[in-house]
């Protein structure tokens, strides 16, 4: 395998980054460090990518693979480190956050990045990472954690539960959502959950959460006062528990929560029963 040798100009760039303890680099930063023209900076960047010293994380943006990673020209194998540089601001969400917080036992092959930053559908590393764009006023509920020496922004437990329930296809399906909810149950802050639900403004999300929490959180049930307060009003329409495009719109009507129970019970219990 090719050894990561450096030309004089390449060494200027890499050594200056390592001396500063920096790992993020733009083309303009590379040009300044090497003292070269913009055109030659692109040539240096191309060479450093080919030799395994840099990884492209966006248009004109790179991440250093430092010398401590060894002499061989291999890309960084830590997708969390790479993902934390792809877009800013961001947080790891859905199944990725659930796995990082210990709420899902099986990690997803796709890493989910949530951001309010708009961009084109085609972006670097799209095969490995899924970008979910949200409105700026819905970008909240974020914690910072350390994982293998890397600082990461991750949705907190309450936001992770709500994200997974709102988009179960990014969370291992509804069976995975039930597993996330049950795993988080005893440590959920229900007043925070309530604030988040109000900010998100989705009544159907509230009803579906209340139904699943009442049905599956046996050891750590939600506060009775909260359940009664969010209970369906007589005039509210019935909404499907699961995505209609996957489960259809037929099922038993639950009068307490005004839900159409269109998801088989066996599917909801599947992941929990395997534990």
Which domains can be identified in the chain, with CATH numbers? 8-76 (1.10.10.10), 81-231 (no CATH)
| pLDDT (0 to 100) of residue 72 | 53
| pLDDT (0 to 100) of residue 59 | 82
Structure-block tokens of residue 272: 């929990």
Structure-block tokens of residue 19: 């001396």
Contact predicate 187/207, CB 8 Å: no
CA 162 to chain centre: 13
| pLDDT (0 to 100) of residue 121 | 46
Cut 0.85: pTM above it: no
| pLDDT (0 to 100) of residue 57 | 84
> Helix, strand, or coil here: 191?
helix
Peptide bond connecting 12 to the previous residue in cis, omega within 30 degrees of 0:
no
Contact predicate 268/178, CB 8 Å: yes
The span from the CA of 215 to the CA of 83, in Å, is 36
The span from the CA of 223 to the CA of 21, in Å, is 48
The span from the CA of 268 to the CA of 193, in Å, is 22
Ranges of the chain whose pLDDT falls below 70: 1-4, 68-77, 120-127, 271-275
In this structure, the number of other CB atoms found within 10 A of the CB of residue 108 comes to 17
């Amino acid at each position: 395998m090719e050894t990561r040798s450096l030309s004089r100009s390449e060494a200027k760039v890499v050594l200056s980054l390592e001396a500063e303890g920096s790992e993020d680099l733009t083309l303009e930063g590379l040009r300044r460090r090497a003292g070269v023209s913009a055109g030659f900076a692109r040539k240096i960047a191309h060479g450093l990518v080919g030799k395994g010293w840099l990884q492209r994380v966006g248009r004109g943006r790179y991440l250093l693979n430092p010398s401590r990673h060894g002499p061989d020209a291999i890309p960084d194998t830590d997708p969390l480190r790479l993902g934390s540089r792809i877009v800013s601001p961001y947080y790891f969400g859905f199944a990725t956050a659930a796995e990082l917080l210990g709420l899902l036992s099986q990690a997803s092959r796709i890493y989910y990045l949530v951001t309010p930053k708009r961009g084109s559908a085609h972006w670097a590393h799209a095969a490995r990472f899924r970008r979910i764009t949200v409105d700026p006023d819905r970008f909240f509920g974020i914690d910072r954690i350390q994982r293998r020496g890397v600082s990461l922004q991750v949705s907190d437990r309450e936001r992770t539960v709500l994200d997974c329930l709102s988009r179960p296809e990014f969370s291992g399906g509804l069976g995975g959502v039930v597993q996330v909810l049950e795993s988080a149950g005893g440590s959920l802050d229900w007043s925070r959950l309530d604030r988040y639900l109000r900010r998100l403004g989705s009544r159907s999300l509230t009803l579906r959460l209340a139904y699943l929490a009442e049905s599956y959180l046996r050891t750590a049930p939600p506060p009775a006062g909260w359940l009664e307060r969010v209970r369906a009003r007589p005039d509210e329409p019935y909404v499907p528990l699961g995505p209609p495009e996957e489960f259809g719109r037929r099922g038993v009507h639950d009068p307490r929560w005004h839900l159409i129970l269109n998801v088989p019970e066996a599917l909801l219990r599947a992941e929990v029963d395997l534990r």
